Amino acid sequence: MPGGTVYNLAMAWTRRESPTAGVFARGPLRVSVAALLCALTVTLWGQPHGSGGVNRPEHLAKPYVVLVSLDGFKPEYLDRFDLPNLGRVMARGVRARSMVPVFPTLTFPNHYSLVTGLRPSRHGIVSNNFWDPERARKYSMSDGVGVTDGSWYGGEPIWVTAETQGMVAACFFWPGSEAAIRAVRPTFMTPYDGKVPNGARVKTVIEWLRMPRQQRPHLITLYFSDVDTATHRGPLDSPDVEKAVRSVDVAIGALLDGVDALPIRNRVNLLITSDHGMVDTTQAQSVALESVLLPHGMSEITQSFGGPVASLHLRSGILRAAAIRDEINATLQHGRAYRRGELPERFHYRGNPRAGDVVVVMDESWTLRTPGQRQGSLERWGQHGWDNGLPSMRATFLAVGPGIRRGARIGDVRNIDVYSLMTELLGLRAARGIDGRPGRIKAMISRQER
């Protein structure tokens, strides 16, 4: 029986209450069978180093971590809107002034940096969509098959760290979680489906935390897209944005209530994050590449990806990169083109050819439109992807749980340090050579021992 078939059978069995929501059935017998199916899946997918769906004895008394992403949630929303449930988190835990994302400030690069502690040039997910010149293939976040190919993903995501050390992990949506990375998948995984209601997502997480302790995942990811979707469809001051912010607050409330009702409630850590900020843009701030590059220059480009940061791959590689750079910069008024090796060091974006031979970094709220890319049809809408040093691109970070300070506010944190924090909370050995700094966030959020 092929691995994918067994995987689907395992997921179908464990979704007895709601096939759409992926809610796990209760009862020791059902859970045990589900765990065995997941263990079989591990073997057939070529994952000999996974947990096998069972926590090793040394992990049974350890805490739990639920990593939550509120895609596109700006820190200022915590002050702009009345959010009682996120308010509960802040009263019981720690709020950072902001979280510094990686460059470019896009969804897939930042989500994958959060769980690996690596910057995009090192983990390889340099954008939501990019070209790999070595493979001569495109990666796209919307390619349901391509995202399951583990060979695209570098580094070691936190669920791989957990599973290879004998700790059960579960992902209710997260970029990279659908792939076998280093030949390992999380024991429980839900393929992305934006139609799954938030309440069903939360219910599944709580069901995971109710499982017998041998099968209960200690590491869980959970993702909500409401705010990002709303801001892409209209301006940041739209009523729809407020509605979306309030909807994720309701989901957080359900998560808090569910955790509070668990026997293990005093062992659960919630890390509530976002991946990037957002700023308004307009059609008038969208520049066509053809307007700043002459036809002979356009003929040099084999692959291009536009937006706040544009990647241009050239037929001649770096040989003509300087000429293309100069031609663009001679006309472009609201951005700057670089040969990849000339990008500002603070972007940490020079090292991977997937980023392009020429990289164009646009000014805040301006975008570069490449051939085949449609101009926005809205008068004003939200966008992200710009310089990660801009205040508008900052993300959110909240933490609550055992040993975490209560009602505390701290300064800025970096998303590349979140991976280390999770390994520290879970008592796991972190992967070597990460970009994040071990202990940095933990020192900021931990209660002082008396």
What residues are labeled active site? 107
Instruction: Return all residues near 46 (Cβ < 8 A) that are at least 6 apart.
Output: 3, 180, 183
Residue 27 Rama label (left phi>0; alpha psi -120 to 50; beta): left
Classify residue 148 by its DSSP letter: G
Kind and range of the H or E element at 408?
A: strand 408-410
- 372-380: which pairs have CB atoms within 8 A and are 24 or more residues apart? 373/306, 375/283, 375/286, 376/281, 376/282, 376/283, 376/286, 378/233, 378/234, 378/283, 379/282, 379/283, 380/234, 380/235, 380/280, 380/281, 380/282
- Letter string b/e over residues 86-95, b meaning 16 or more CB atoms within 10 A of that residue's CB: bebbbebbbb
The letter for the amino acid at 340 is: R
* Phi (first) and psi of residue 65, to 5 degrees: -130, 125
Please report, to the nearest 10 degrees, the dihedral formed by the alpha carbons of residues 94, 429, 345, 136 taken in order.
-120
The letter for the amino acid at 182 is: R
Separation of alpha carbons 339 and 121, rounded Å: 15
Is residue 57 within 8 Å of residue 241, measured between CB atoms? no
- Pairing state of beta strands 358-362 and 380-383? unpaired
Structure token pair of residue 399: 């933490």
- Does residue 137 sit in helix, strand or coil? strand
Separation of alpha carbons 28 and 51, rounded Å: 19
